Structure 1
Amino acid sequence: MTITTLSSREFQQNANQAQKAARNGPVFITNRGRPTQVLLSYEDYQRITGRRRNIVAALSMPGLASIEFEIPRSKDLPRPADLS
Structure 2
Amino acid sequence: MSKTITSREFNQDVSAAKRAAMKEPVMITDHGRPSHVLLSAEEYDRITKSERLVGDFLWAGEEVDYELDIPARTLEERDIDL
Do both proteins adopt the same fold according to a TM-score greater than 0.5, normalized to the shorter chain? yes
**Structure 2 residue runs without a partner (length 5+):** 61-82
**Identical positions, percent:** 47
Higher relative CO (Cα under 8 Å, sequence separation at least 6) belongs to 2
Q: Secondary structure at the match of 1:25?
A: coil
Give, in whole Å, the separation in 1 of the partners of 2:22 and 2:9.
Answer: 18
Point out 4+ residue stretches in structure 1 off by more than 2 angstroms. none
Q: Which residue of 2 aligns with 1:44?
A: 43
Instruction: Give the Cα–Cα distance (whole angstroms) in 2 for the partners of residues 28 and 43 of structure 1.
Output: 17
| TM-score after normalising by structure 2 | 0.61
Give me the CA root mean square deviation. Answer: 2.1
Aligned ranges 1:1-84 → 2 under 5 Å: 3-53=2-52
Secondary structure at 2:19 match in 1: helix
> Could you list the runs of 5+ residues in structure 1 that have no partner in the other structure?
63-84
Partners of 2:35 and 2:45 in 1: CA distance: 20
TM-score under structure 1 length normalisation: 0.60
CA apart distance, 1:9 = 0.4
Structure with greater Cα Rg: 1
The aligned amino acid for 1:44 is E
Aligned AA (1:6): I
